[in-house]
């Protein structure tokens, strides 16, 4: 009898622990920005960590609710990023209806699992008209969900901060017409590295904005963290909506020392991050092998080194 009670109690404790650990949105609710921090419905700092899907136009097979479920349950993601390719063939400009369906499968999967989701306008060029149409639709449809975070320009390459800023203000205004509160992530010039330019001239007049900075640890070092420190000191809230451990072309060996330095810096500053990416391309940053099923349920043998390490980082909080 005693044995049965112990088993029952242990099961209950595990169940309760899982219930608390799980369902990040139930726990944190509506997010907002206070100073440089992302905070939850109780005003407590929240640091959301997860992974990005690869470009939807090239890796559509992973854009489904089952993969979201696996990334949450097995990888411990409290957030995922749906990266909607804008410019390439089968991207949003070419195939808007199909593209939205793919992104919505991930959004609806995240809502079902009760985790956060970034709707990422995954572009390297400026396409204001398309962005306004897309975000108007997304904000109207999903803006009442606490799960949603908008990322309005993945990585500007050639535009100045003034150009990115003007574009961002237009898109923010459009989102705010139907969604007054969810967090909006704003890109910075040169693949989200010129955060110091943003810090000298931030967008005024809107709440719940954060700015993105992206790193690939084997390429981007202390100079980029110095820019981040400069921005934080000036009260600029940062989110690392894309990062990984290898060089900026997504290939070559993972530099663990450099990656760990970045992880320490983000932990120290309570900055959340998203690792790139859920894809099976033959390159270091794509975390899956060709053998990986389209709907999660992956064995370790289906993961590449970056997948194994990212999963470990999400599950344990550090890289061994
Ligand atoms: Mg809202």
Q: Out of 155, 177, 297, 299, pick the active-site residue.
A: 155
- How many A from CA of 181 to the centre of ligand 1? 5
Q: What is the mean pLDDT of the chain?
A: 95
| Per-residue pLDDT at 320 | 77
- Which residues are within 5 Å of ligand 1 (an ion), measured at CB? 143, 179, 181-182
Burial 148-162 (b: 16+ CB within 10 A, else e): bbbbbbbbbeebebe
CA dihedral 271, 176, 205, 200 (to 10 degrees): 40
- Average pLDDT on 77-88 reads 98
- Average pLDDT on 91-99 reads 98
Catalytic-residue membership of 242? yes
| Per-residue pLDDT at 22 | 65
Kind of pairing, strands 215-216 and 116-122? unpaired
CA 191 to chain centre: 15
Catalytic-residue membership of 312? no
- How many A from CA of 245 to the centre of ligand 1? 33
| Per-residue pLDDT at 11 | 65
Q: Out of 100, 113, 151, 242, pick the active-site residue.
A: 242
Q: Over the stretch 302-319, which tens digit does the pLDDT of each residue have? A: 999 999 999 999 999 999
Question: Which pTM does this prediction carry?
Answer: 0.94
- Average pLDDT on 116-145 reads 98
- How many A from CA of 264 to the centre of ligand 1? 32
Is residue 164 within 8 A of residue 156, CB to CB? The reply is yes
DSSP three-state, residue 17? helix
- How many A from CA of 98 to the centre of ligand 1? 25
CA distance 159 to 113: 37
3-state helix/strand/coil string of 67-136: HHHHHHHCCCCCEEEEEEECCCCCCCCCCHHHHHHHHHHHHHHHHHHCCEEEEEEECCCCCHHHHHHHHH
Pick the CATH number of 30-316 from 3.30.70.580, 3.30.70.260, 3.30.470.10, 3.20.20.80: 3.20.20.80
Residue predicted with more confidence, 22 or 284? 284
Q: Where are the domains of the chain?
A: 30-316
- How many A from CA of 4 to the centre of ligand 1? 47
């Amino acid at each position: 009898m005693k044995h049965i009670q112990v088993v029952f109690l242990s099961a209950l404790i595990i169940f309760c622990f899982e219930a608390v650990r799980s369902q990040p949105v139930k726990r944190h609710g509506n997010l907002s920005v206070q100073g440089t921090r992302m905070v939850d419905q109780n005003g407590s700092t929240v640091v959301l960590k997860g992974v990005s899907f690869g470009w939807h136009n090239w890796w559509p097979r992973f854009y489904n609710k089952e993969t979201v479920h696996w990334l949450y349950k097995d990888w411990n993601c409290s957030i995922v990023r749906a990266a909607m390719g804008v410019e390439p063939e089968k991207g949003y400009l070419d195939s808007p209806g199909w593209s939205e369906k793919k992104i919505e499968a991930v959004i609806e999967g995240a809502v079902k699992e009760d985790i956060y989701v970034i709707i990422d306008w995954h572009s390297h060029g400026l396409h204001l008209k398309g962005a306004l149409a897309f975000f108007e639709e997304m904000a109207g449809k999903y803006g009442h969900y606490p799960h949603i975070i908008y990322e309005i320009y993945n990585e500007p390459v050639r535009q100045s901060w003034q150009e990115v800023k003007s574009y961002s203000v237009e898109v923010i205004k459009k989102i705010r017409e139907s969604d007054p509160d969810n967090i909006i992530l704003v890109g910075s010039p040169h693949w989200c590295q010129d955060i110091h330019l943003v810090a000298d001239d931030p967008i005024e007049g809107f709440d719940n904005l954060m700015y993105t900075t992206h790193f690939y640890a084997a390429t981007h070092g202390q100079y980029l963290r110095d820019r981040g420190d400069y921005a934080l000191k000036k009260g600029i809230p940062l989110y690392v909506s894309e990062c990984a451990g290898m060089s900026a072309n997504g290939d070559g060996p993972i530099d663990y020392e450099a990656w760990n330095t970045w992880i320490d810096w983000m932990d120290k500053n309570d900055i959340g991050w998203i690792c790139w990416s859920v894809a099976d391309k033959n390159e270091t940053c794509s975390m899956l092998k060709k053998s990986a099923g389209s709907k999660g349920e992956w064995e370790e043998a289906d993961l590449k080194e970056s997948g194994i390490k990212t999963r470990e980082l999400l599950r344990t909080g550090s890289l061994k």
